């Protein structure tokens, strides 16, 4: 649940100079207003569009900036219909500290034989855009550029990519990360200043007392737990855990869900071992954490905050994410075996191979091992993604495209996959990955997302290492 309840908002700025003491095309104003509305309609599928209307003069630019600030927009899409003095739009753009997407747009795809001056006045933004882009560069303001007509599929795809990236950046700025327990002892890659996390990403980190989960566990009935078990069976998943242990694992799953909902957390970084010695729970929570990941609440093991943030980004870019780490290099086939104990996202499993709910073989508690999942991820294009801690409160984004291959899951009580890098040998991949300041954990989502992650990095003013 975001810190502030709000929709993703796109602020639209449409401008042109139509009339001053030299230019005399004021008769086009009504057409310019209609043009602004047409561009607003073109953006409606990407979020809530805030359209203050066509503006021409400095006082109008001030009004536009005021409206967009009051509406708390997350990104600006800027369009010039025809030449405009650079000072006018800059008067508004400098007031707004959000990503700027300049759409070098037109309504036409050609300059036809019967074109008149009115057509030029609604389709010649290229005349004034150099003034805006050079001034933004001079002002050290980052911006993104898309060129193409309103109906151009390539331009619309680029717009969609940048707005998706802006939505991911906005999600981080409005996110609340819960931390249960502490980072696993001695893991240097999980040691970071959580205030630096807030300064960089906008995300706040809040400790969750593990006793809250114990209280919720004790308040969860056996009937609630049985409903969760039946839910798994209704999805065609084979439950191979004895009933007593399965009920205990399902009660813990319900408890985690309740604590997350009541605290309004977008994601949770959790030390899974925190309840192993507690007589009231005494098992590992893999079943419950994986179930929450499947339900779009990122959970990470070992209280890994940065991977929780990475999963939130991927949730926005791809709709689903998971948590992994590199294990075995298969030099013979140029593959990397990926897994992580019993924690992952069963919603991304290869249904052809099936999903089993099994007793975990990791981390025995005073009441046993608890339930886990065993499955392989479905084959397809994939992007691995991590956030690197590069020191002095600074971070960088790291990503790599490849594919998950179809595989028979090994009987290891864990989600698993073979990753094949698009760039060549797995030997080269592993060395490049190791040199990028990664964590020993990473996240993944289906699709080729390198370019969109690059846009997210620029919107956060971070470096991006593509491997």
Q: pLDDT tens across 318-368, in order?
A: 999 999 999 999 999 999 999 998 899 999 999 999 999 999 999 999 999
Rounded-to-integer distance, Cα 89 and Cα 386, Å: 37
Do 97 and 68 form a contact (C-beta atoms < 8 A)? no
> Average pLDDT, whole number, for the chain?
95
Comparing 61-75, 119-133, 415-429, which segment has the lowest mean pLDDT?
119-133
Rounded-to-integer distance, Cα 267 and Cα 310, Å: 10
Model's pTM, two decimal places? 0.94
Q: Looking at domain 9-173, which CATH architecture does it have?
A: 3-Layer(aba) Sandwich (3.40)
128-177: per-residue pLDDT in tens? 999 999 999 999 999 999 999 999 999 999 999 999 999 999 999 999 99
Read off the pLDDT band of 26 (50, 70, 90). Answer: confident
Residue ranges matching CATH 3.40.50.10940 in the chain: 9-173
Do 27 and 117 form a contact (C-beta atoms < 8 A)? no
Rounded-to-integer distance, Cα 191 and Cα 201, Å: 16
Question: Looking at residue 413, what DSSP letter applies?
Answer: S
Rounded-to-integer distance, Cα 214 and Cα 282, Å: 10
Written as six digits, the tokens of 258 are 């309740």
**DSSP letter for each residue of 102-127:** EEE--S-SS--TT--HHHHHTT-GGG
Do 159 and 77 form a contact (C-beta atoms < 8 A)? yes
Written as six digits, the tokens of 194 are 């959580």
Q: How many CA atoms lie within 13 A of 335 on its CB side?
A: 14
Residue ranges matching CATH 3.40.275.10 in the chain: 176-466
Read off the pLDDT band of 1 (50, 70, 90). Answer: low
36-61: per-residue pLDDT in tens? 999 999 999 899 999 999 999 999 99
Question: Looking at residue 182, what DSSP letter applies?
Answer: -
Count Cβ atoms within 10 A of the Cβ of residue 116 and give its class: 0-12 exposed, 13-18 middle, 19 or more buried: exposed
Do 379 and 350 form a contact (C-beta atoms < 8 A)? yes
Residue 435 predicted with pLDDT over 90: yes
User: What percent of the chain has pLDDT above 70?
Assistant: 99
Q: Looking at domain 176-466, which CATH architecture does it have?
A: 3-Layer(aba) Sandwich (3.40)
């Amino acid at each position: 649940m975001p810190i502030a309840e709000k929709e993703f908002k796109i602020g639209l700025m449409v401008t042109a100079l139509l009339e001053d003491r030299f230019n005399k095309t004021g008769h086009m104003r009504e057409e310019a207003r209609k043009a602004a509305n047409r561009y607003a309609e073109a953006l409606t599928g990407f979020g809530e569009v805030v359209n203050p209307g066509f503006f021409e003069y400095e006082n109008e630019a001030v009004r536009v900036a005021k409206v967009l600030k009051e509406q708390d927009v997350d990104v600006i899409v800027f369009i010039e219909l025809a030449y405009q003095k650079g000072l006018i739009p800059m008067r508004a753009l400098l007031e707004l500290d959000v990503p700027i997407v300049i759409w070098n747009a037109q309504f036409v795809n050609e300059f036809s034989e019967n074109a008149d001056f009115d057509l030029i006045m609604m389709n010649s933004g290229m005349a004034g855009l150099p003034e805006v882009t050079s001034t933004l560069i001079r002002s050290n303001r980052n911006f993104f550029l898309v060129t193409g007509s309103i109906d151009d599929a390539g331009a619309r795809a680029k717009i969609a990519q940048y707005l998706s990236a802006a939505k991911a950046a906005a999600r981080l700025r409005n996110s609340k990360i819960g931390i249960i327990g502490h980072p696993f002892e001695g893991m240097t890659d999980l040691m970071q200043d959580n205030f630096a996390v807030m300064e960089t990403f906008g995300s706040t980190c809040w400790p969750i007392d593990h006793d809250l989960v114990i209280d919720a566990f004790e308040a969860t009935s056996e009937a609630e737990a049985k409903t969760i078990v039946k839910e798994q069976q209704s999805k065609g998943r084979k439950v191979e855990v004895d009933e007593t242990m399965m009920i205990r694992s399902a009660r813990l799953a319900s408890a985690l869900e309740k604590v997350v909902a009541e605290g309004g957390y977008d994601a949770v970084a959790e030390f899974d071992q925190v309840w192993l010695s507690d007589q009231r729970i005494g098992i590992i929570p893999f079943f419950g954490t994986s179930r929450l990941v499947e339900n779009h609440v990122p959970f990470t093991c070992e209280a890994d905050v940065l991977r929780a943030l990475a999963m939130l980004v991927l949730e926005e870019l791809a709709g689903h994410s998971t948590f992994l780490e590199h294990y075995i290099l298969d030099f013979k086939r140029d593959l990397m075996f990926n897994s992580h104990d019993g924690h992952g996202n069963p919603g991304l499993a290869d249904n052809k191979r099936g999903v089993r709910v099994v007793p975990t073989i990791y981390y025995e508690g005073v009441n046993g091992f608890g339930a886990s999942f065993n499955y392989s991820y479905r084959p397809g294009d994939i992007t691995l993604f991590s956030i690197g801690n590069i020191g002095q409160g600074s971070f960088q984004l790291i990503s790599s495209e490849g594919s998950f291959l179809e595989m028979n899951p090994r009987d290891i009580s864990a989600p698993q996959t073979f990753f094949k890098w698009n760039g060549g040998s797995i030997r080269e991949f592993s060395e490049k990955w190791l040199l990028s300041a990664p964590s020993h954990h990473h996240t993944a989502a289906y699709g080729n997302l390198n370019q969109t992650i690059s846009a997210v990095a620029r919107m956060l003013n971070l470096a991006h290492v593509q491997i």
